[in-house]
Amino acid sequence: MAILPILQYPDERLHKVAKKVDQINETIRKLVRDMAETMYSAPGIGLAATQVDQHIQLIVIDVSEMHDDLKVFINPVLVHSQGEKENEEGCLSVPGIYENVTRAERITVRALDEHGEPFTLEAEGLLAVCIQHEMDHLQGRVFVEHLSHLKQTRIRAKLKKQRRETF
């Protein structure tokens, strides 16, 4: 397994739309393992393949406290959403930035697991937020793009300053 580099906003590659996974093979399963290791070490609760510069429809999520409930979503489709709720979100591609975003409160998603088995999952709370957040990545959208242009400009400036101070 390997820890993969995570693209940082506003990297243009984060805006690429992910392609469907045609075949679930050992290469995909290895990417799932590498993404999980990357997510856990970051530490985070979700990671989309787009964030590690792999532009395919693949997401890993684990919102459990013990980090022992990895969920894999390949070619996920949101089939139902209900309600609205504002939640604070952060992102491994936008380190140190947390903002409120409004998303559906409850969702139903259909996807394939890492073995190619189809499943449907109903989710609410943190899991629902995380699934929607990661599915945005597959569409080339970062959570800060739900915010006003003024907030986006401020976030870009803050991240630029953080990078200067790091080097």
Catalytic member of 86, 89, 114, 134: 134
Cis peptide before 10 (omega within 30 of 0): yes
Please give the Cα distance from 104 to 130 (Å, whole number). 11
Closest to 128 measured CA to CA, from 109, 114, 144, 145: 109
Closest to 103 measured CA to CA, from 123, 119, 121: 123
Q: Which amino acid is at 18?
A: A
Whether 26 is a known active-site residue: answer no
Which residues are identified as catalytic? 134
